[in-house]
Amino acid sequence: LQCFAREFKEIPDETLSRLKDGICFSLSEYFYTFGSDEIIKFLTIARSWNDSTPISDELREYFEKLYPLVDACYIQKKPSKFTHKFVGDNLQDVLIKSDKILLSNPWHAIAVQKQGSQWYFFDPNHSHGPILCTNTEELLKKIQHSLGTIISVGTLTPDLYIDCQTEIKNISLFIKHGGFLSLGTLNEDQQIQVISAIENKIISEIDLSDGLNFYSNSQKAVWQLLDLSFCKLILKKYPQGQCKTELTLILTKMQERVDQEHHSTNNLIPTSEALPPSDAPVTSSAGGGSSLTPETKAPSTVVLEAKKAKQENTKAFQTYEQIVQPIEHFYSSILKELTTWERTEKVTPQGARHFIFHLLKEEKTLVRIPDAATILELRNGIQQIANHPVYYVDKAEDLQIIMKRFQVNTDGRVSIEEGSPLSDFLQSTGSPKTILINYDHFSTEEIIQFNEILDKEPKINGKPLPEGVRIIGLQNTSREDAYQESDFYSRFTHIRDFSSDASEFREVFSIQAYAEETTSSIELYNDPAWKAILFGQLRINGKEFIFVPGALNTPELPLSLILKNAPVDDPEFIEFWRQAIITGKINLYGKEFIIPKGFQLKHVSGYDLETLSKKLSDDDTAPPPPPQHVLNSQNLHVFLGGQIIQNGEIVYQVGLIENEQPLSILLTEALSEGQWAKLLQAYTTTPMQIQSLADINIPDALKALIKPYTPELSMTIVQTNDVEQYLHTHKPEGLIVDVSDFDTPEVFGFSKALLQTDRTYRFESRDSWLINKLNLGEKVILKGHFSERIIQGIAQHILLNPEWGKLLTLIGDAVSPLKRFGSIKSIIFDEPRTLTEEQERSLSLLTHPELKLSVNDQSAKDFTDERMESIQYALGSNPFVFITGLSGCGKTTFIKNHFQPYLEKQGIDEWLKSKSDPCYLFFDEANLSHENWLMFEGLLQNPPFIIFEGEYREVPHTHKVIFAGNPVTYGDERKIPKLFSGHPNVIVFDPIPPQALKEEILLPLFENTEQQGQAHEICEVIIQL
């Protein structure tokens, strides 16, 4: 068209530049005017033309028909001859009215034409031209995919669709999805319905925020375009100070605009808007992504009076005239802005590709998406379409730039250096760069922690980002805990809603199923350590790390890679290869593997366990010997060979299978087919008999070879609905330890690495405190939730020592998995254990603290003495206390200044070793972490103890623990830790009195400064403020 206009109409390039964003309305009008056959011929001839040949006479004939439509709409911007009527949910009724229909929303236009019982559907964004729909249902789906829910019909006969303009069914969603931009297509009743919804605050804050932040194709937000009268109505009904969402930010900007403009333009949206730039976002969604919205109420008395006044031709009330009348000429202006976009590939019906094109040009944008699946599709699209480097952040640790990492040098030696994949990305050449953050996997704490990346001067870990780095955030709005506070939203330049169809980006690559195994295939056994098998891994040899190459040890991967029994259902596996194929390379430990063009990943499935099972003994005549070794997924390495700690070093120990000694094995957990295959593949000639506990799934090929085994244990296993009440009433003898928060190393043996001054490591291992206690003949009671790993730890260490069963008691509310160890005794209490009245009051303070907001003018000394006394009293008969109170009341500062505590988990070891009397350990924001702090429950026993780094450590009675946190009602994932729900001991810090604030906090700030002489006067001013 540009070539035609330039050659035959002599239109200058400056004017033709207005057409670069598309001509969807004119093409739809062409289809409406000349029909489907005409445009199919036109498009067929146009496709065969290339810009190196002249335009043929036949093609010119078609352009002569199209050009006047384009000239009127996009160049001269004449008013449209069509009248546009919003039809909303009545689209099916519209189709009955006419055989050809022009449909549009504020961003796009399409047309449909009936042919017999079928319909031609024409969307200018579909390069293949009109599509024939065999039924109305198919047609409706295509229309809604192209235009979403804000649909208007263009007609040359305005009264034809009058009965299709009924009440808007969901006014809140109408506004949320861009309804403000369609006000000019509403009839009088619908217009009043919008005003009524605002006056009655029917529209939720979040939906109003979305609606006001919607962008027209001119790249201006609704709040920038609305008539001032409408702005004033919204500001009146939604006061800034009462709004808690991102709406506050928009209202602030709207108020600034109202303050700057003293006179109304008498247009709800100005008609002088220029043709929009190509980077205008398109958000015409067919689906909501929003949950239930308030029911639409009847118009308020004020609005009804306005309508009545208008009907009576009076000027007694101006609300309707001021707000509704100016929109009559609005839609003709919007139609001049309807555009498609330049494209070289297939575009999704709702504009996902167009959305991404313009998203990549913005500096700092948050995209709100209604589900996790669409997030992944949009992420794929962004990485595919971007013509510059994109760094994808899937979890918070991907944002670290200061960290230690292992690198394999060219000589094969392993070194430790500072750096991260993100730091490599930021230091690479080229600009712009985009950091793409998927917030779906971030906790509230992590979002807050990395908020600095969104600042005006963005930083990560305190280090400034280079210029030219753009940020795109993806947020799953369907998550109940999706963080929507203003301290997060306000940091973004743009906030976009996206609920379009992005399915074309669903699959970046596919893993081809391969029929037969070949000699070149690599067996992965569905092993979680598949990456090490393929690309190599770090291992410790003595005190140093070495790199052991994997099956792929060349700089470039083969064009076709065949993997046997790969974990194709593991999201991490799929994500790894997705990123590799998009970026064209794999970086591990500083080694780079190139992905060749045309790379294919193929997969072979299945194990020949029937053949492998022939290695096992099938002697049915002799009874199996007593088991000597336990087999489960956690200790498979004991049989196959692995690394152990010996004399402070890591050494390799051959597996039991290689010892050539007869093996009698007890299976305590179901193994995967891959684990069985790996075990049997390594098996040579060592005599091996396997027995199994009851109710363990065994592959059919092995069932006949594995005999049942019943352990001879007299272990006490109790299932109860109230563990604490059972302990209180039955008073079992022994050391009581809650294992709910423990992993196996903390119960059955702990090891750690210590970095030496010569950059080598020394390794320490600690015996299991549980085994030590049982060896000494001491009774132990394990209570709480028993994870499968803890259960297998019990199996591995206890089952083969029946005498230990007499010393061990297991108590919990869900202990059925433990029945394989013996019979379960069930104790059910009719009434749950209740806390004392004082404990109940103390526990309630965590959710509803009794705050004294009116403070007297205590001196700093009196105030400090009062707080000290309350803490000392709380710790007099209790080893721990939780301090709550309003944010800013000085909890953290007071404890650090007056108790000089050891801090957080890194301070536990020094706290345990300290001889100070008393001695304090402090945890801040203790109800904001995932911890339940049950490790400190042992402080209530005599002698007090904790299990720390897998070791039983007795604690002096003089050692105390102080926790602090804001009330649970502050939200942000705060909860009541189980330590305090079972043993509440809470005190409340009241706000700091002015005099104490001055003496304790403000005056010290001025010490040794130039303002020290005026410190008292300055402090008085601050306090007054």
Structure tokens at 645: 């700690």
Distance CA 124, CA 29 (A): 10
Closest CA to 172 of 152, 200, 153: 200
For 79, the 3-state DSSP assignment is: coil
pLDDT score at 621:
61
Looking at domain 352-505, its CATH class is alpha beta
Would the CATH topology of 352-505 be identical to that of 837-992? Answer: yes
Kindly give, in sequence order, each residue whose CB lies less than 8 Å from that of residue 206, ignoring residues fewer than 6 positions away.
Answer: 176, 245, 246, 247, 290, 484
- Residue with token string 């006419």: 98
Total Cβ atoms within 10 A of residue 646: 13
Reading phi first (left if > 0) and then psi (alpha if -120 to 50, else beta), residue 895 is in alpha
Residue 920: CA atoms inside 13 Å, Cβ hemisphere, count? 17
Residue 730, Ramachandran bin (φ over 0: left; ψ between -120 and 50: alpha; else beta): alpha
What are the φ and ψ backbone dihedral angles of 439, each rounded to 5 degrees? Answer: -75, 0
Q: Answer whether 959's CB lies under 8 Å from 915's CB.
A: no
Mean pLDDT per block of 10 residues along the chain (1025 residues) reads: 72 68 85 89 81 79 87 80 84 85 88 90 84 89 84 83 79 86 83 84 84 74 80 86 73 83 44 29 31 30 45 39 41 39 32 83 90 90 88 91 80 79 86 92 87 89 89 91 82 86 77 69 91 89 83 90 91 88 86 88 88 70 81 88 83 82 88 91 79 89 88 84 90 93 85 75 84 92 90 82 86 81 85 80 78 60 88 93 86 90 93 94 88 93 93 94 85 80 90 79 85 86 77
**Contact call for residues 67 and 61 (beta carbons, < 8 A):** no
SS (H, E, C) 502-570: CHHHCCCCCEEECCCCCCCCEECCCCCCHHHHHHCEEEEEECEEEEECCCCCCCECCCEEEEECCCCCC
| Confidence (pLDDT) at 267 | 39
CB atoms near residue 287 (< 10 Å): 17
Q: CA gyration radius for the chain?
A: 36
Pairing between β-strand 404-408 and β-strand 414-418 as defined by DSSP bridges: antiparallel
Q: pTM of the predicted model, to two decimals?
A: 0.56
pLDDT value of position 407: 83
pLDDT recorded at residue 499: 76
Q: Find the largest Cα–Cα distance for the chain.
A: 108
What type of residue sits at position 811? I
Nearest Cα residue to 874 out of 920, 925, 924, 913: 920
What percent helix, strand, coil does the chain show, rounded to 5? 40, 20, 40
* Sheet of strand 716-720: strand arrangement: 735-738, 780-783, 808-812, 716-720, 825-827
Contact 392, 407 (CB under 8 A): no
Which pLDDT value is given to residue 920? 96
Q: pLDDT tens across 664-709, in order?
A: 899 988 999 999 999 888 877 777 888 998 888 999 989 888 888 8
What's the pLDDT score for residue 18?
64
Q: How far apart, in Å, are the Cα atoms of 453 and each of 434, 473, 607?
A: 12, 11, 48
Residue 305, both tokens: 């009076």
CB of 333 closer than 8 Å to CB of 273: yes
Provide the 10 A C-beta neighbour count for residue 548. 10
Residue 557: the pLDDT is: 92
Structural domain boundaries in the chain: 1-166, 169-342, 352-505, 511-604, 609-708, 716-738+766-827, 837-992
Using CA atoms, how far apart are residues 198 and 205, in angstroms rounded to an integer?
Answer: 11
Q: For tokens 């988990």, what's the residue?
A: 905
- Tokens 């913005």 correspond to what residue? 362
Nearest-angstrom CA–CA distance, 78 and 591: 62
The Cα–Cα gap between 26 and 339 comes to: 9
Name the token pair of 439.
Answer: 């917030």
The whole-angstrom separation of Cα 128 and Cα 946 is 71
Of 166, 129, 148, which Cα lies nearest the Cα of 28?
129
Quote the pLDDT of residue 307. Answer: 47
Query: Would you say 235 and 254 are in contact if contact means Cβ atoms under 8 Å apart?
Result: yes
- At 112-163, the pLDDT tens digits run 999 888 899 998 887 678 998 988 888 988 888 888 888 988 888 877 777 7
What tokens appear for 804 in the block? 């230990």
Q: How far apart are CA 601 and CA 604, in angstroms?
A: 10
DSSP strands (E only) in 444-518: 459-460, 463-464, 469-476, 494-497, 511-513
Measure CA 659 to chain center: 49
Residue bearing tokens 């009195």: 993
**For domain 837-992, which CATH number applies: 3.40.50.300, 3.40.50.720, 3.30.470.10, 3.40.50.1360?**
3.40.50.300
Residue 309 one-letter amino acid: A
Tell how strand 83-86 and strand 808-812 pair up: unpaired
